[in-house]
Each structure stands twice: as C-alpha cells, then as structure tokens.
Amino acid sequence: MYNQNIRFGSPYSIAVFNFDVNDLKYINDHYGHEYGDKLIINAAKSVSAICGKNVYGYRMDGDEFLATAFNISNEEAEIILIKWQSALAEINAESTDVFVSVSCGMVYGSGNYDLRRSR
C-alpha cells in the first residue's frame, strides 16, 4: 500500500482516515489467530480499495490502518469514506467465513502544509 518514493510536497489539503479492526483480541483469543488474520486481511483489502490518485494506505500496527488523501475537497474526502464503507460491505458480503467490523475516524484540513522530509 505504501510507496516510499512518494513526495508529498506542499499540498493545499489533507484528509486522514484512521481505521481499527474491532474486537481483534477477543476474536484471536476465542476463535484463533488464523481467524483474526483473515479479519486483518479483509480490513487491508477495504483500505486498499480507496487507494489511488492522491490517496495512500498504510498498515500502522497489528489491527490499525491509516489512509491519507492530499489535494482534495472536504466533499471528496467524504466520498472516499463512503467508498471505503461500500468496499468493506462488499468484502463482508463476499466472505463466507468471516465478518470484519472496522471503526474509522476521518479528519480534513486545508491550508498551507509543507510535508517535505527534513534532510
């Protein structure tokens, strides 16, 4: 999902989406890590579904994912969120053995940002 060669420069807007798989510890403890791994894979697929032009997805930790979107409007950020919800619903509908529940928070900001890496 992440391309290390990306240079963000100075975008005019940023949307950040934070995803967390719900109840993963409980599921791992009661149904096994193989089942939990399937939840993480399906959550990753849902995040990957929104990646594209100016939208980048990352796995942050065991059950936490992040997506960033640059140079988009607040309305476009909301559309990305809806697209993700639809992708997750489709993944769950197609899955015969797991149902993944994921919480998502989103924040949007516009202004002057300088995200160039320090040297």
Domains of the chain: 19-107 (3.30.70.270)
29-48 burial, b at 16+ Cβ within 10 Å, e below that, comes to eeeeeeebebbbebbbbbbe
DSSP label of 116: P
What is the band of 115 on the pLDDT scale with cuts at 50, 70, 90? low
Say which range, 48-57, 64-73, 109-118, has the weakest mean pLDDT. Answer: 109-118
How confident is the model at residue 117, as a pLDDT? 54
What pLDDT, in 10s, does the model give residues 66-101? 999 999 999 999 999 999 999 999 999 999 989 999
The structure tokens 């990646």 sit at 51
